Amino acid sequence: MKNEIIIGMSGASGIQYGIRILEAIKQMKGFETHLVISESAKQLIKIETDYSVKDVENLGDNIYDDHDFTAPIASGSHRSRGMIIAPSSMKNLASIASGMSDTLISRAADCCLKEKRPLIIMARETPLNLIHIENMKKAMEAGASILPACPAFYPRPKTIDDIIDFMAGRALDLLNIEHNLYKRWRE
């Protein structure tokens, strides 16, 4: 299998997580990324970071519009190592949990689930209501890994970048990708 990774960024605060994942993969040899940024995520890039949307797109190898259902990642026959959605809005999570493939992000996620490929959903909301929790449960039962954006503090982060690196590293861990983004427990 190719070392292709699908990265989706939907409209939830915490867009820095997805950017850091892209930066980390870009520095690794042998990986190819397929990037989809929703329209609301593009707005959050402008609001939450000093990056432009073009800067973020330049971190990906293959860039798709969130409504391009002709993209290769819209088909289960396109093989990949899996998909990370960072961040995932609750709307995006609900679409995935209900099997409603109305965007390329949710369609690519659906393909990962039906093909039994890893799907990591970095859910970003607080506090959670029962509907959010039920959607997380449904997505997990379908095969997704839910990775709430809840960083650990045992590595004693000194900067916001340390916190972002921890969460980006945990997402990469779930795809079994070696990295050194954070100090592991008892290291």
Q: For the whole model, what pTM was predicted?
A: 0.97
Tens digit of each residue's pLDDT (9 = 90 or more) over 114-133: 999 999 999 999 999 999 99
Sheet holding 82-88, edge to edge: 62-64, 32-37, 4-9, 82-88, 119-123, 145-146
In this structure, the strands spanning 119-123 and 82-88 are parallel
DSSP class of residue 158 equals -
The reply, when asked if residue 139 is annotated as ligand binding, is no
pLDDT the model gives residue 185: 87
pLDDT (average), residues 171-182: 96
- Residues 6 or more apart whose Cβ sits within 8 Å of residue 134: 97
Say whether pLDDT at 1 is over 70. no
Domain boundaries 4-175, CATH class? alpha beta
Tens digit of each residue's pLDDT (9 = 90 or more) over 15-61: 999 999 999 999 999 999 999 999 999 999 999 999 999 999 999 99
pLDDT the model gives residue 148: 96
The reply, when asked if residue 182 is annotated as ligand binding, is no
Cβ atoms of residues 8 and 36 within 8 Å: yes
CA distance 161 to 167: 10
Q: Which pLDDT band holds residue 187 (cuts at 50, 70, 90)? A: confident
Please name the residue that has the structure tokens 């290291």. 187
Tens digit of each residue's pLDDT (9 = 90 or more) over 160-169: 999 999 999 9
Identify which of 43, 14, 16 has the alpha carbon closest to the alpha carbon of residue 148.
14
pLDDT the model gives residue 2: 73
Domain ranges of the chain: 4-175
The reply, when asked if residue 124 is annotated as ligand binding, is yes
pLDDT the model gives residue 12: 95
Beta carbons within 10 angstroms of residue 13's beta carbon = 15
Tens digit of each residue's pLDDT (9 = 90 or more) over 62-117: 999 999 999 999 999 999 999 999 999 999 999 999 999 999 999 999 999 999 99
DSSP class of residue 73 equals G
**Which stretches of the chain are DSSP H helices?**
15-27, 39-48, 53-57, 90-97, 104-114, 130-142, 160-174
The reply, when asked if residue 12 is annotated as ligand binding, is yes
The reply, when asked if residue 86 is annotated as ligand binding, is no
